[in-house]
Structure formats: C-alpha cells, structure tokens
Amino acid sequence: MSLFHTKHLRMVSVIGLSFAFFAVVLPSAHAQDTATVTGVGSSFAAPLYQNWAASALKDINLKVNYQPLGSSAGQNQIIAKTVNFGALDMSTSVEQLSQANLVQFPTAIGGIAVVVNIPGIKENKLRLTGDLIADIYAGKITKWNDPRIVAMNKDLALSAIDIAPIYRADGSGTTQVFTSYLSKESEGWKKSFGSNTSIAWPTGMGGRGNGSVASMVKNMEGGIGYVEYAYALQNHLNTAQLKNLAGEFVSINEDTIQAAAKAADWIHARNYSIDLIDMKGDDSWPIVSTTYVLIPAFNKDSKEVTKFFQWGFSHGDEIASKLHYVPLPIVVKEKIAKTWEYAGVSSTDAKTK
C-alpha cells in the first residue's frame, strides 16, 4: 500500500514539475519587446539575410527569422500568407503578383560561375562559350581535348580526359538561371531542354545544393559545374572565362557582375522582373541574376519587413560585398523606396502613423 502511495506521489510530482516548467518557459517566449518578422525562401540569399538580420537586431531592434527552404517554398508560403516575406531567385509573373496582392522587389545581385577541374590547367585560364557549355551538358562534347574546345584554347595543353558534367539535382533557382543562359546561347538547347528549376539533363550527374556541386567538381577529374560565385571562391575552384555578348572573354569577379547589373534597364523593368543574362558591355559577366523578396501589399507587418530591407540597403552593402553579393545600383534602391510608398508598405509612414 505504501508503495502505491509513493508511485502516486511520483506521478503527481512529475506532472507538477512539468507544469512549473511550462509556467516558466511560456511567458518568457511571449515577452518580447522587439518586433519579429519571419521569412522563408531562397537558399542563395540566406547568408545575406541572416547576416543582415544579426546586425539589424542591434541597430534597429528588429528580429528577422529567415529559413532557407528553397525558392518554391518561399513562393508557396507567402501566397498562403504564413510568413511575412518570401524570398525567390526568380521573378514572379505580374498575374501571380496581382492575384495574391504581393509586391516584388530585388535585394541583391549574384553571379553564377562555371567551374572546371582539369589537371594541369591554371586558375581562370580556360575559355568557353555558352554554345560549347550547352553542347557539353547535352552530351555532344565528351572529351576535354575536343577540337572545338582546343580551337578556343590554343595556348593550353588539354588532354583526352572525359568530361563529367555536374548539375544541381535538387530544384534550384541557380539551375533556372543557368539553363536560361544556355537557352539564350544555344537554339538546340532551348529546343530540347529549355530552362526550369530542374530539367531532364541528358547526361552527367547531380549534386544536392551549391555546396555539393562545388565539392563534386573539386573531387572529380574532368568535372564541370555551375555554382554561385561565393561557392566557387570558398572552395577555391577553377573558374572558366566566358565569352559575353560583346565578344570579349571575361572572368567572374565583383566588377564584371556589377558591370552587368549596371548595363540593365532597371527603370523600365516592370515589377523589377529583369533579365540580367547576356548584358551589353565589354566587361559584363554573362550569367548574372537577382534575388527577389515578395511581401503582401497594404499590410502592417510588411512595414516591418521594408524597415529591415531599408536598413539593409542603406547599411548592409559592406556585409553584402563581404559575402560576395553585388549590392543593387543606387537608382534601383531609390525606385524600390518609391514602390514601397506606392504599395503602402513603406516603413517611413509606419513611424508617422
């Protein structure tokens, strides 16, 4: 009987303790004087938003919770309004924006590097064109000493190594941009494969995420792949030079990405849906893309989001450059501020009201 009693006692004490635990934890979770905004989306932009968020918390007392679940997730969740903003690597169509009553604006610009692993070839020496890359990924060129590659690289000693084309196996905005570039450069590619977040690759092998593609190229002799510029730098990969619209061979760096961003016609772009692939200019890197944010129009929470990005645009350029993103040109930032006002989400009215 006494045993029975102690059992009861133990149970009661366990229940009591757990109540006490929740009583302590729950109010502390509610007691926040800082505003919080949540965002979901692009993994490409994640390092930028997370770094901005860490600094913005100190500066403007705004907590940003960003989860890199992928561009499609960002789009789905902002349409369902389960988050305060969605981040995408591609622009959303006007119909979709007006249907869901969303505002779109760009936040940063990034370049996609073509990386190779060919033994004996020095950093940034190999020259390629979009047409050649399309044929490599289509399986038409299979050796690194193919006459067409050699013709473009007479000064390099290319040996008969098999080419291993490596792509993103998961659906990704990077693939979307890269395949749009190939579609623009090669009619054959456009006809047979087109551009999408994931396509039916005819040959080669896939890795999961930018990081995996980078390490596969690094690991595999004869490999070629495409990754965000930051990943090429971090992994010390051998980038290739590409021929741009002006016919010049350019190598990827902040300046050539910036040149492409400057050459774009931002003022006339509707909803900032702009194509930064194959921009004019002698120094323009050909594969450049913007990353976007979607927020609901005429919404109180969106004002907090714009407050965060306003801070990012005015104070975050240094952080962006450190992470190898290219900040937006000033004209674009000014235009975005006007868009916010027009959509009733500007953070400056939040203060006056």
Partner 1 sequence: MSLKQSAYQSEKKIIPYLFSSLMWCGGALILLIFLGLIFELCWQGRQAFSAFGFHFITSTTWNPGNQEFSAGTALIGTLVSSFIGVILALPLSFGCAYCLNELLPQRIARYITAATQLLAAIPSIILGMWGFFILVPLMAHYVQPFLKHLFGPVPYLDLLFSGGTFGVGILTAGLILAIMITPFITAIMQEAFANTPTMLKESAYSLGATKWEVMHQVILPWVQKGVVGGVVLGWGRALGETMAVTFVIGNAHHVSWSLFMPTNTIASLIALEFSESAAGSLKMSSLMALGAVLMVISFFVLFCSQLLLKQVLKSR
**Which residues form the interface with partner 1 (CB under 8 A)?**
69-73, 75-76, 162, 164, 169-172, 193-201, 203-208, 212, 215-216, 219-223
Instruction: Give the residue with the Cβ less far from partner 1, 154 or 236.
Output: 236
Minimum Å gap between C-beta 172 and partner 1 is: 7
Minimum Å gap between C-beta 294 and partner 1 is: 14
Minimum Å gap between C-beta 167 and partner 1 is: 9
| Residues whose CB is less than 8 angstroms from the CB of residue 178 and which lie 6 or more positions away in sequence, other chains included | 112, 226, 287
Instruction: Give the residue with the Cβ less far from partner 1, 182 or 320.
Output: 182
Minimum Å gap between C-beta 94 and partner 1 is: 19
Instruction: Give the residue with the Cβ less far from partner 1, 188 or 204.
Output: 204
- Token pair belonging to 118: 């060919």
Contact present, 198 and 171 (Cβ < 8 Å):
yes
* DSSP letter string, 109-172: EEEEEEEE--TTPPTT--EE-HHHHHHHHTTS--BTT-HHHHHH-TTS----PBPEEEEESS--
Minimum Å gap between C-beta 15 and partner 1 is: 18
Instruction: Give the residue with the Cβ less far from partner 1, 39 or 70.
Output: 70
Minimum Å gap between C-beta 226 and partner 1 is: 15
Instruction: Give the residue with the Cβ less far from partner 1, 208 or 270.
Output: 208
Question: What type of residue sits at position 24?
Answer: V
* DSSP letter string, 314-345: HH-HHHHHHTTPBPPPHHHHHHHHHHHHHTT-
Environment class of 190 (CB within 10 Å of its CB; exposed 0-12, middle 13-18, buried 19+): middle
What three-state secondary structure class fits 292? strand
Instruction: Give the residue with the Cβ less far from partner 1, 7 or 338.
Output: 7
Element (H, E) at 76: helix 71-79
Give the closest residue to 229 by CA, choosing from 107, 111, 90, 109.
111
Minimum Å gap between C-beta 143 and partner 1 is: 10
| Residues whose CB is less than 8 angstroms from the CB of residue 238 and which lie 6 or more positions away in sequence, other chains included | 115, 116, 117, 118, 121, 122, 123, 124, 126
Give the closest residue to 73 by CA, choosing from 168, 173, 167, 169.
173
Give the closest residue to 195 by CA, choosing from 203, 206, 184, 204.
184
Instruction: Give the residue with the Cβ less far from partner 1, 23 or 200.
Output: 200
Instruction: Give the residue with the Cβ less far from partner 1, 199 or 326.
Output: 199
Contact present, 65 and 92 (Cβ < 8 Å):
no
Q: Roughly how many angstroms between the first and final C-alpha of the chain, as a whole number?
A: 68
Q: How far apart are the C-alpha atoms of 199 and 272, rounded to whole Å?
A: 25
Minimum Å gap between C-beta 197 and partner 1 is: 6
Instruction: Give the residue with the Cβ less far from partner 1, 108 or 213.
Output: 213
Q: How far apart are the C-alpha atoms of 133 and 149, rounded to whole Å?
A: 10
Minimum Å gap between C-beta 219 and partner 1 is: 6
